[in-house]
Amino acid sequence: MAPITYTLLAVAGLISSVYCHPLSQRSTAVLPLSEVLSGLPNPTAAPVIIALGVGTQNYTCNSTSLTFGTNVAVADLYDVSKYVKSSTKDSITKQYLKATQCNNQNPLHLNLIGHHFFSTSTTPNFDFTSSGKGLLQAKKVINVPAPSSAFAGLKGEAGGAVDWVYLADNGYGISQGLQSVYRVETAGGKPPTSCKAGEQVEVPYAAEYWFYNQKF
């Protein structure tokens, strides 16, 4: 699958009004589950990959309810492990999503290490085989709403931040070296609240994906 081309933006700090500056490193790796309502399981191991996903959530309008139904996603996955060491809320994902409107071309030279896509409407895949980091074919286990303060999205597409999700290997024997992933610190991605039958929409989003070689 060919990479999605994005103009990337780095974070100047936790709170910044300038959108095109280098990321600052964090101190210790802590999955930020305390930011949302309880529901997502707590990991008991260290993450093996922390990736920044930048792409689109893709929806089709339900002809009966005239609302956008079950969605699939497409995203490029970048190695951001050395920058994502503790919670700074959605500052990284917000700034990278805003970077699609900025002319700064990947100032950190982040490595593109994988791709996120769906092979069926309910089968998410996270493919790192090209970088030798494994493969996860997953199923959704549980989701919770993003924090109310999460970045709602780009101007004209600010429908809200998609849920935080815990996904685990689906048991089909496809996964290689990875067993679970958390989607956290989401920015953007929710569709409009109403639509016309058959209408399709691609909503830009960004998220942190924390991968583990265990299920929880």
Containing H/E element for 91? helix 91-98
More confident residue, 83 or 113: 113
Which residues does residue 73 pair with via DSSP β-bridges, in sequence order? Answer: 57
Q: Comparing 11-20, 45-54, 105-114, 204-213, which segment has the lowest mean pLDDT? A: 11-20
pLDDT at 1 over 80: no
Q: Kindly indicate the confidence band of residue 25, based on its pLDDT and cuts at 50, 70 and 90.
A: very low
Q: Structure pTM? A: 0.85
pLDDT single digits (tens) 99-151: 877 766 565 678 999 999 999 999 999 999 999 999 999 999 999 999 999 99
**pLDDT at residue 110, as a whole number:** 80
What is the Cα–Cα distance from 187 to 6, expressed in whole angstroms? 15
**pLDDT at residue 104, as a whole number:** 61
pLDDT at 177 over 60: yes
Contacts of 109 (CB under 8 A, 6+ apart): none
**pLDDT at residue 107, as a whole number:** 52
Q: Domain map of the chain by residue range? A: 40-212
- Mean pLDDT across 19-44: 72
Q: Kindly indicate the confidence band of residue 9, based on its pLDDT and cuts at 50, 70 and 90.
A: very low
More confident residue, 123 or 1: 123
Which residues does residue 202 pair with via DSSP β-bridges, in sequence order? Answer: 58
Contacts of 50 (CB under 8 A, 6+ apart): 29, 79, 80, 81, 84, 208, 209, 210, 211
pLDDT single digits (tens) 48-65: 999 999 999 999 999 999
pLDDT at 190 over 80: yes
What proportion of the chain, given as a percentage, has pLDDT over 70? 82
- Mean pLDDT across 149-175: 96
**pLDDT at residue 205, as a whole number:** 95
What is the Cα–Cα distance from 75 to 52, expressed in whole angstroms? 9
**pLDDT at residue 99, as a whole number:** 87
What proportion of the chain, given as a percentage, has pLDDT over 90? 67
pLDDT at 11 over 60: no
